[in-house]
Amino acid sequence: MRRAWLWMGLALAASGHAAAPAALYQQHCQSCHGEQRLGGMAPALLPQSLERSKPAELLATVRDGRPATQMQGFADWLSADEIQALVGWLRTPAATPPRWSEAEMAASHRQFVPLAQLPDAPGHGADPANLFVVVEAGDHHVSVLDGERFTVLARFASHYALHGGPKFSPDGRFVYFASRDGWVSQYDLYSLQKVAEIRVGLNTRNVAASADGRWLLAGNTLPENLVLLDARTLQPVKTLPVRTQQGQLSRVSAVYDAAPRQSFIVALKDAPELWEISYNPAAEPIYDGYVHDYAMGEGLAKPGFLNPRRTPLDAVLDDFFFDPDYRHVIGASRDGRAQVVNLDIRRQVAALQLDGMPHLGAGITFKRDGRILLATPNLKTGQVSVIDTGNWQEVTRIATPGPGFFLRSHERTPYAWVDAMMSAQRDTLTLIDKRTLQVAHTLRPRPGKTTAHVEFTRDGRYALVSVMETPGELLVIDAATLREVAALPMMKPIGKYNVHNKITRSEGTSH
Ligand code: HEC
């Protein structure tokens, strides 16, 4: 097939016509992006890989290249029509979808340091619980920051396009990253080195780490499955195809750990189902009438340990978060509807009346007058909705300068910080007083520059804020006086994660 395309392409080129895109790809692109577009030294170029990029951006990338990377521009080599056709072809699914077998996954595993050679204690002298891991998307690097002195302890190249937020082992020692192209990496924060990596799929949503330190669960969109890894070694343990009750394949939209339940919760992108996968060895068996996939002998039940238990939903649930006791999942669907699902009785118990498109994956909870409130930013409208988790009624809506992405706080600070990065006011941060539910301050530390994503030091004293530009900065702001105390140069720091706040599941941050 490839040979035929190549031949046709050459023949067309020779006759003065634009060459066929598949042939152009093999001629100019495959050496870096891989013969099957699965990636190599350069990222994968599958439709699933590119779906978040605008066609115009892709055209510009192929025409002009990306400065300071191996991606050169092809304007001198290819005509505008050829570039257009090539980009169109890259965005079109192949007739036979690419596969990623368990054997290929296993073969991709790499151990950089044997576990036995890792030291027993940190060697860097900083408080290991007050480190920050900063994801720099500008040049695909990660920085490890001392959260007391605000110095960079280590900086290393990551796989292309990390996302979903890194996850930590329960002792805070290891941090796990998932990349868009399916690479899961393990990094040791004691000795500041990469330990292992494995490619779990061709396109991955995110990874969750179990609270008992034993498992990682990666949620893929290509292939449509979940991959369970041993958290110590990243060796694959089990692959679970994501099939709905009707047997249809579905992509995964998010997977999170629900520590008190000893389970992972999985949202499906193409089907109205929510899955719970228990990692409690004593989990109850599962009777859902769909034993044929996982049948154990002739029995009607399958073991509850490491098998999915389904909750049927009214609508597909895209992203979600938990209430503080992990009994409820609060999730949004693409049409902006929000639902509350009780994980014990396995059904929806409330629908939230929220405008626009609440970004519930970035919601937070906090206590006020003995009630537990949840607050969520909104991707479509400039407001933060506050909901009482006791009765799921909206308490108030707080107007902000524009639609925002992240909302963050900390037990020891009175303010919740929200950005407006989805709007023209993307350089502002709005501080909402959790006691009065009013806007207390508006900050604009770098006028004109996208400013978003806040994470606090373990004691809540300082807020670390991203200036998401290339080059950008990481600002350290005193959370009480609101004065800037430090600024570190960073390449588009899209997220930063404090070890202590993550492993203690601080109420002010996503998990
Ligand atoms: C010498 C290696 C190399 C060659 C040859 C190459 N690329 Fe790239 N390409 C890269 C690298 C590296 C990146 C990632 C750049 C970055 O870090 O932003 C990239 C990025 C891209 C992206 C952006 C991907 C994304 O997800 O944002 C597109 C699209 C792309 N290349 C298309 C092409 C096409 C089409 C060709 C052939 C005409 C080609 N590339 C040839 C190395 C290469």
Could you give all domains of the chain from N- to C-terminal order, each with its CATH number?
2-90 (1.10.760.10), 350-511 (2.130.10.10)
Q: What is the pLDDT of residue 179?
A: 98
Please list the residues that pair with 275 across neighbouring strands: 266, 310
Of 251, 255, 258, 268, nearest in space to 310 by CA? 268
Residues 6+ apart with CB under 8 A from 114: none
Whether the upstream peptide bond of residue 493 has omega within 30° of 0, thus cis, is no
Q: Whose CA is nearest to atom 20 of ligand 1?
A: 71
- Residue 33 Cβ inside 6 Å of ligand 1? The answer reads yes
The owner of tokens 């629908």 is 351
Q: How far apart are CA 407 and CA 364, in angstroms?
A: 7
Work out which ligand 1 atom sits closest to the CA atom of 180. 26
Cα 394 to middle of ligand 1, angstroms = 46
Q: Is the beta carbon of 74 within 6 A of some atom in ligand 1? A: yes
Half-sphere exposure of 209 (CA within 13 A, CB side): 29
Q: For a ligand 1 pocket test, name from 26, 33, 89 the mutation site with the most ligand atoms within 8 angstroms of its C-beta.
A: 33
Protein residue whose Cα sits closest to atom 29 of ligand 1? 58
- Nearest-5° Cα angle at 219, 215 to 225: 105
- Cα 67 to averaged position of ligand 1 atoms, centre (Å): 11
Whether the CB of 60 sits within 6 Å of ligand 1:
no
What is the Å distance from ligand 1's center to 80 Cα?
A: 17
Helix axes 2-14, 21-28, angle to 10 degrees: 100
| Ligand 1 contact via 346 beta carbon (within 6 Å) | no
Which residue's C-alpha comes closest to atom 6 of ligand 1?
Answer: 29
Q: Which among 35, 61, 78, 87 is the best mutation to test ligand 1's pocket, defined by most ligand atoms within 8 Å of the CB?
A: 61
Ligand 1, atom nearest to 90 Cα: 35
Which residue among 24, 48, 71, 79 has the greatest number of ligand 1 atoms within 8 angstroms of its CB, and so is best to mutate? 71
Q: Note whether 438 and 399 are within 8 A (CB).
A: no
- For a substitution probing ligand 1, which of 32, 49, 64, 83 has the most ligand atoms within 8 Å of its CB? 32
Per-residue pLDDT of the chain (511 residues; tens, 9 = 90+): 344 444 444 444 444 456 799 999 999 999 999 999 999 999 999 999 999 999 999 999 999 999 999 999 999 999 999 999 999 999 999 888 899 999 999 999 999 999 999 999 999 999 999 999 999 999 999 999 999 999 999 999 999 999 869 999 999 999 999 999 999 999 999 999 999 999 999 999 999 999 999 999 999 999 999 999 999 999 999 999 999 988 999 999 999 999 999 999 999 999 999 999 999 999 999 886 544 445 444 456 889 999 999 999 989 998 898 999 999 999 987 777 789 999 999 999 999 878 888 998 899 999 999 999 999 999 999 999 999 999 999 999 999 999 999 999 999 999 999 999 999 999 999 999 999 999 999 999 999 999 999 999 999 999 999 999 999 999 999 999 999 999 999 999 999 999 999 999 988 777 6
66 lines ligand 1 (CB under 6 A): yes
Phi and psi at residue 55, in whole multiples of 5°? -55, -40
Q: Whose CA is nearest to atom 26 of ligand 1?
A: 50
The protein residue whose alpha carbon is closest to atom 10 in ligand 1 is 71
| 470 CB within 6 A, ligand 1 | no
Angle of CA points 265, 266, 268, to nearest 5°: 155
How far apart are the CA of 33 and the centre of ligand 1, in A? 7
- DSSP reduced 3-state for 129: helix
Q: What's the pLDDT at 2?
A: 43
Neighbour order of strands in the sheet with 383-388? 364-368, 371-376, 383-388, 393-399
* Positive/negative CA dihedral, 89, 91, 96, 102: positive
Residue 49 Cβ < 6 Å to ligand 1: yes
Cα gap 433→420, rounded to integer Å: 17
**379 CB near ligand 1 (under 6 Å):** no
Give the residue from 284, 195, 290, 198 showing the smallest Cα distance to 242. Answer: 290
